[in-house]
Amino acid sequence: MADDYLRRIGSLIRDSRLHHGWTQNQLAEQLGTSQSAVNRIEKGHQNLSLEMIARIGEALDSEIVTVGQPEPSHLRVTGGQQLSGNITVKSSKNASVALLCASLLNKGRTVLRGVARIEEVNRILEVLESIGIRTRWLGGRDLEIIPPERLELDSMNVDAARRTRSVIMLLGPLLHLEAQFKLPYAGGCNLGTRTVRPHMAALLPFGLEIKATGGFYHAEVDRAAKPNRPIVLTERGDTVTENALMAAARYDGVTVIRNASPNYMVQDLCFFLTRLGVRIDGIGTTTLTVHGVEDIDRDVDYAPSEDPIEAMSLLSAAIVTSSQITIERAPVEFLEIELALLEEMGLDYDRSDEYTAANGETRLVDLTVRPSILKAPNDKIHPMPFPGLNIDNLPFFALIAATASGSTLIHDWVYENRAIYLTELTRLGANVTLLDPHRVLVDGPTRFSGTEVICPPALRPAVVVLLAMLAAKGTSVLRNVYVINRGYEDLAARLSLLGARIETFRDI
């Protein structure tokens, strides 16, 4: 068994043991082995037979690994537990997938450090591998990416590609590599129609023409085309800005992108491109001036920053369970509006002095959240492109509003479908009224009670339901949690380390 797997299995065993509140000695007793053997197993220093893994799984009443196609996995939550302790925010899904796509711009070796082990990253890795790119976990969470001489786009793993929205970000890099190619329609969260036209408009000045038919975008590249005036994005979208940046990065000239998104994943991509020798003026603003380079062949090392949406999820976990926890490494510059609003609602919390993320740029803090009595905010809550309240954080405000006294109007003007999923909270006892597809009215406070829910097909609403279950009296079941694993690494196990009672199980 490869060392990397042994370490991962070891850490799953450790998490599960801690979840049971057992010492290494206690687990050793159950297994009829020594404490030092358990210690070696947990550190990944011990070869494990399948029989041993099964015995450990049985002792801990938890499936450590599955063999073959995994069945859908579910969570059983015993709510009402207060959480305590410290938890560290992991790197963001959205930056990681953008950087994986951007690694195609580089003929050299790319190493991405501290990448969260999430399903969205796995799907993009499957896509990259299927077209001939060598990818390898170096141990822990560092990823190595080495491109081949020539891509094999016809062998693309279409199933994996269709499960992500991120695959759309291959358009920008591929236009430099191939004169003709096709990509499957992008998937991701099912939030109603999500636009592709802005991507086509942003990439047309680089000669990329796309026809969408039969489930694929068919692309043709006119190499003579040049972006001879500023590219004005018709909407300030994150992935569209990233596509424009990746196209501009290998264009031998200067490209100005206006109405660019300055959001966290875009900033991470800019910092990464800078390491590849691309000069970008205006990082963090809505006008980016990119001094591209025709050829990039560098060995590069970069660590994407921490996920503001995960930080917001953890803040919400503390709030709904009335707990004191410390959230370490929260990227505060992407949470300022959220924190200001929570303060207005009455949240009692402290933040540490700022320090810098491993990318050398992003400002981080540790946030200590204390139990607070919240009231509804004075005005409706609505998202805006950065530096506004992040659209992906909006669902968490519906949950928080349900714990606060008074009425809160949540207005999701961006997505056609996401607000609708927030009505799932009514199953757990919240008072959420859908006023129209974009607006919900939440009346609190709520005494949540446990029940069974199937995950909505959207990441953040699914996490919101899970967090409500942590607050709910009694036992709840959350079914089909792939959607959560798409964006969060071992969320259930990490919450369990804070004292939540969550078990993972599968249908037989």
Ligand X SMILES: C=C(OP(=O)(O)O)C(=O)O
- Judged by the rule CB under 6 A, the positions of this chain that interact with ligand UD1 are 94, 97, 165-166, 194-195, 235-239, 265, 385, 391-392, 414-415
Q: Which is nearer to ligand X, 349 or 488 (CB)?
A: 488
Q: Which is nearer to ligand UD1, 81 or 393 (CB)?
A: 393
391 binds, among ligand UD1, ligand X, none (CB under 5 to 8 A by kind): ligand UD1
Which C-beta is closer to ligand UD1: that of 205 or that of 237? 237
Residue 33 Cα to chain centre, angstroms: 39
- Name the residue nearer to ligand X (CB basis): 46 or 166: 166
Token pair recorded at residue 481: 């949690």
Partner from ligand UD1, ligand X, none binding residue 114, C-beta < 5-8 Å depending on class:
none
For 17, which DSSP code? Answer: H
The whole-angstrom separation of Cα 306 and Cα 324 is 21
Give dist(CA 357, CA 330) in Å, integer: 10
Query: In the bound complex, what is the minimum distance in angstroms from residue 376's beta carbon to ligand UD1?
Result: 25
Q: How far is the CB of 397 from ligand X (least distance, A)?
A: 14
| Ramachandran category for residue 214: left, alpha or beta (phi over 0 → left; psi -120 to 50 → alpha) | left
Classified as helix, coil or strand, 27 is: helix
Q: Can you read off the two tokens belonging to residue 132?
A: 């001939």
Task: Pick what 487 binds: ligand X, ligand UD1, none; C-beta below 5 to 8 Å, kind-dependent.
Answer: ligand X
Residue 44 or 487: which CB sits closer to ligand X? Answer: 487
Q: Which residue is nearest to ligand X (CB)?
A: 188
| Residue 460 interaction partner, one of ligand X, ligand UD1, none, beta carbon < 5-8 Å per kind | ligand X
Q: What is the DSSP letter of 108?
A: S
Tell the smallest beta-carbon distance from residue 19 to ligand UD1 (Å): 30
Q: Which does 385 bind (CB under 5 to 8 A by kind): ligand UD1, ligand X, none?
A: ligand UD1
DSSP helix/strand/coil, 295: coil
192 three-class SS: coil
Choose between 130 and 166: whose C-beta lies nearer to ligand X.
166
The count of other CB atoms within 10 Å of the CB of residue 47 is: 10
| Shortest Cβ 220–ligand X spacing (Å) | 26
* Nearer to ligand X among residue 292 and residue 487 (C-beta): 487
Of residues 243 and 403, the one with the C-beta less far from ligand UD1: 243
Q: In angstroms, what is the minimal distance from the CB of 157 to ligand X?
A: 17
CB closer to ligand X, 438 vs 460 = 460
Report residue 67 as tokens: 């063999």
Instruction: Residue 103: name its binding partner from ligand UD1, ligand X, none (Cβ under 5 to 8 Å by kind).
Output: none
Yes or no: say if 49 and 290 are a contact pair by the CB < 8 Å rule.
Answer: no
Could you list the residues that contact ligand X (CB under 6 A)? 93, 165-166, 188-189, 392, 459-460, 487
CB of 477 to ligand UD1, least distance (A): 27
Q: Rounded distance, CA 357 to CA 308, Å?
A: 13
Choose the one of ligand X, ligand UD1, none that binds residue 265, judging by a C-beta under 5 to 8 angstroms depending on kind. ligand UD1
CB of 461 to ligand X, least distance (A): 9
| Pairing mode, strands 355-356 and 363-370 | antiparallel
Residue 238: name its binding partner from ligand X, ligand UD1, none (Cβ under 5 to 8 Å by kind): ligand UD1
What distances in angstroms separate CA 104 from CA 123, 126, 276, 360, 508, one per listed residue?
Answer: 16, 14, 12, 23, 40
Q: Beta strands 143-146 and 110-112: pairing type? A: antiparallel
Sheet holding 231-232, edge to edge: 231-232, 254-258, 287-291, 279-281
Closest contact distance (angstroms) between CB of 87 and ligand X is 19
Question: Which of 196/434 has CB closer to ligand UD1?
Answer: 196
State the nearest-atom distance from the C-beta of 265 to ligand X, in Å.
10
Q: Quote the least distance from Cβ 101 to ligand UD1, whole Å.
A: 10
CA distances from 440 to 155, 290, 338, 382, 466 (A): 44, 41, 18, 11, 19
> Among ligand X, ligand UD1, none, what does residue 62 contact (CB within 5–8 Å per kind)?
none
Contacted entry of ligand X, ligand UD1, none for residue 236, CB cut-off 5 to 8 Å set by kind: ligand UD1
In the block, residue with structure tokens 């996920």: 307
Report the Cα 103 to chain-centroid distance in Å.
Answer: 19
